[in-house]
Amino acid sequence: MGRMRIIIAGGHGKIALRLAERLKAGAVGLVRNPAHVADVEATGAQAVVCDLEKATVAEVTEIVRGADAVIFAAGAGPGSGAARKDTVDRAASVLLADAAERAGVRRFIQISSMGAGKPPAPGRDEVWAAYIKAKTEAEEDLRRRDGLAWTILRPGRLTDEPGTGLVRLAPEVPPGSVPRDDVAAVIMALLENPGTAGRTLELVSGETPVIELVATE
């Protein structure tokens, strides 16, 4: 991919670390906890301590300035309550998008979730409902931004199985799962194919090689 500089919010997440391993020195992982710096640096990437729940837009703008793309891969994570779904999954994405616009970084890839964009299924717990609401509102915020060449990626249920490189990627796909390895591979392909800007794409395991599929999307 050449010498690109890619900012990854949620830099210690499982998808982010797999992506950093692919990008190596081209990646800058944003981490909230200084104890996570070493894990990010072990991939060959740079780590920057930045808590997106507390940082100002000016601080984040300085971090992303000069980047080729920004990837929002942060999430409040398992065990967090409904309040942090809003402050991380929605508000941190909005903050990062504001910073990207101010810094003049056009390419923005947001990791969302299958299920976003519609009400959560009846019977799901309130934390799941809050998560889907936060992801939906983060997507809606991004779609309103003319200053960004955004792509929204909605993976299905994430697994730690080895990646196969074979996926199904389309505006709508049946529910399913996908290895985090393959999500990272798809993000790489999206970075290499700016023609995917302005698309919302759902992702599960399938039968199409990642590189072929993104090239035709």
Count of alpha carbons within 13 Å of 203, Cβ hemisphere only? Answer: 34
| pLDDT of the residue at 43 | 96
| pLDDT of the residue at 54 | 94
Percent share of the chain, pLDDT over 70? 97
Q: pLDDT tens, 1-33?
A: 456 899 999 999 999 999 999 999 999 999 999
Quote the CA–CA distance of 118 and 121 in Å, as a whole number: 9
| pLDDT of the residue at 188 | 94
Cα-only R_g, the chain: 16
CATH fold of the domain at 6-216: Rossmann fold (3.40.50)
| pLDDT of the residue at 152 | 97
Chain-centroid distance, C-alpha 114: 13
| pLDDT of the residue at 217 | 53
Q: Is 93 helix (H, G, I), strand (E, B) or coil?
A: helix
Quote the CA–CA distance of 70 and 59 in Å, as a whole number: 15
Residue ranges covered by each domain of the chain: 6-216
Q: Tell me the pTM.
A: 0.94
CA distances from 199 to 20, 157, 171 (A): 23, 20, 8
Q: pLDDT tens, 127-184?
A: 888 889 999 999 999 999 999 999 999 999 999 999 999 999 999 999 999 999 999 9
Q: Which residues, listed in sequence order, are joined to residue 204 by a DSSP beta bridge?
A: 168
Count of alpha carbons within 13 Å of 65, Cβ hemisphere only? Answer: 9
